[in-house]
Amino acid sequence: MKNIQILIIFLFSVGVYAQNTSKINADLKLSDSLTLDSEIRIYAGGGITNYSSLFRMYKDKSDKWKAEFYQHYAKVSGQAELQTEKQTLKSKNDMEYVWNSILRTNVQFLPNMSEIKYKMRERGNVELVDGEYQLTWRAKEIMDGVGYKVQIKANKKLHEVDYGNPESYLKYYPDVDELIYFNELLDTIKKEFGIWKE
């Protein structure tokens, strides 16, 4: 009998998903909602640690762009106390250019990663198994890495998406547009602000 490869359900419960963004916001003294007209927040967390980080870029009420990077170590009872650190960031290019580069990635329209998982597998075969035809699929499962939650407000519209391990999945599925765009977003932030470098 042939080995049947079954589609493995993607598990996106890494890092930032394990930590509640409302709790992180409270610890960082940020509102849960994006109140400014032009703002993006990217929460990043990885594995089973208590560490997460937040990139925030926004245009304030005086029409000036600002960018901040927060590091957050959640309290772990009996092991670690809450620690936070805020850093003001400068971009390599003009912030208006950076904002438009962010919008160029289509992040304000991207679906959640869970909605594109059907694209992240090899097309199945129909095989006769025990007298019945079955459709089999082959997919990669990446259990550890970095999860991202993005909240963006642009042109008075709010959008939120979750992606787990997008850099790793792009290596296996280089033709998936949504992974390409999301990784362009991350690359833009890394290059412009020098954060999340490996």
Per-residue pLDDT of the chain (198 residues; tens, 9 = 90+): 333 332 233 333 333 444 589 989 999 999 999 999 999 999 999 767 788 999 999 999 999 999 999 999 888 888 788 888 999 999 999 999 999 999 999 999 999 999 999 999 888 889 888 999 998 888 888 877 899 999 999 998 999 999 999 999 999 999 999 999 999 999 999 999 999 986
- pTM assigned to the model: 0.85
Per DSSP, what are the bridge partners of residue 72? 52, 84
C-alpha span between 46 and 168 (Å, rounded): 13
CA dihedral for 192, 64, 108, 101, sign (positive or negative): negative
Output helix, strand, coil percentages for the chain, rounded to the nearest 5: 25, 35, 40
Domain ranges of the chain: 15-125+144-193
* 3 state DSSP class of 187: helix
The H or E element that residue 24 is part of is helix 21-28
DSSP letters, 87-145, are EE---SS-HHHHHHHHHHTTTTTPPPGGGGGGGSSEEEEEEEETTEEEEEEE-----SS
CATH fold, domain 15-125+144-193, is: Mago nashi protein (3.30.1560)
Please tell me the predicted confidence (pLDDT) of residue 195: 96
